[in-house]
Amino acid sequence: MAFPRVSAGVAVRSSSPVETRLGDSPDIGQAMRRKEDMPITRECTSCGQLNRIPVVHLSDEGRCGACKQPLPAISEPIAATTETFLEIVKEARVPILVDFWAPWCGPCRMAAPEVARLATEMAGRAIVLKVNTEEYPELAARYRVQSIPTFAIFSHGQIVRQESGVVDHLVMESWLAGL
């Protein structure tokens, strides 16, 4: 399953709670100051125009800058880099589910359809991020991910829940609905 890759503001197609606050460590603060408003580009399904969506508006419906057709809220998991992960967690106005996974992990591949279904069902009410622990081990280490898949829920820049193992999308939805 391919997830949109979010990197430096550009979307590119490609195949027990922990007390942590964003900005507590110097490296996170520096990443946050690097770009105040990191946009993500989305292609309009009507005209094909690329539209820049500020991170704070990922859960909002907008309009295409060219044809003025509606651009729905993000409804698929976003494959995030360290920078986009930090920016989205800091700026999002809705809860965020993060799936820490790896391509070689069988249970991660089993969970992927559930994660995608959750992203579709929660569009506008939550954002779903995918963090490849092979590419971004520093994020896995920061949130003490010791097995995969691990799911973490963030709200207002703080981690509020973290669970390991394959979980049904309805269970994940109930976690998000409780926020």
Q: Under 8 Å CB-to-CB from 113, ≥6 apart: which residues?
A: 1
Residue 39: its pLDDT value, please?
Answer: 65
Residue 64 falls inside a structural domain: no
Angle at 156 between CA 54 and CA 123, to 5 degrees: 55
Of 116, 125, 117, 131, nearest in space to 162 by CA: 131
Residue 47: its pLDDT value, please?
Answer: 94
Between 119 and 3, where is the model more confident?
Answer: 119
Residue 178: its pLDDT value, please?
Answer: 77
Q: Which helix (H) or strand (E) holds 170?
A: helix 169-177
User: Domain total for the chain?
Assistant: 1
Residue 52 falls inside a structural domain: no
CA count, 13 A, side-chain hemisphere, 53: 27
Residue 91: its pLDDT value, please?
Answer: 92
Residue 38: its pLDDT value, please?
Answer: 53
Told to judge if 108 belongs to the known catalytic residues of this protein, a careful annotator would answer yes
Residue 1 falls inside a structural domain: no
Per the listing, tokens 């926020």 go with: 179
Residue 69 falls inside a structural domain: no
Active-site position among 44, 64, 67, 108: 108
Report the chain's C-alpha Rg in angstroms. Answer: 15
Q: Does residue 81 carry a pLDDT above 90?
A: yes
pLDDT tens readout for residues 91-106: 999 999 999 999 999 9
Angle at 87 between CA 32 and CA 128, to 5 degrees: 160
Looking at the DSSP bridge assignments, the partners of residue 13 are 4
Residue 47 falls inside a structural domain: no
Told to judge if 105 belongs to the known catalytic residues of this protein, a careful annotator would answer yes
Domain containing residue 157: CATH number: 3.40.30.10
Please give the Cα distance from 179 to 175 (Å, whole number): 7
Please give the Cα distance from 114 to 166 (Å, whole number): 9
Angle at 28 between CA 55 and CA 131, to 5 degrees: 60
- Report residue 61 CA to chain centroid gap: 17
Domain holding 152, by residue range, is 9-36+74-177
Active-site position among 47, 64, 67, 105: 105
Amino acid identity of residue 105, one-letter, is: C
Residue 104 falls inside a structural domain: yes
Per the listing, tokens 């579709």 go with: 120
User: What is the overall mean pLDDT for the chain?
Assistant: 81
Task: Say what the pTM is.
Answer: 0.75
pLDDT tens readout for residues 15-68: 323 333 334 433 433 433 334 345 688 889 899 999 999 888 999 999 999 999
Instruction: Report, as an integer, the average pLDDT of 116-134.
Output: 95
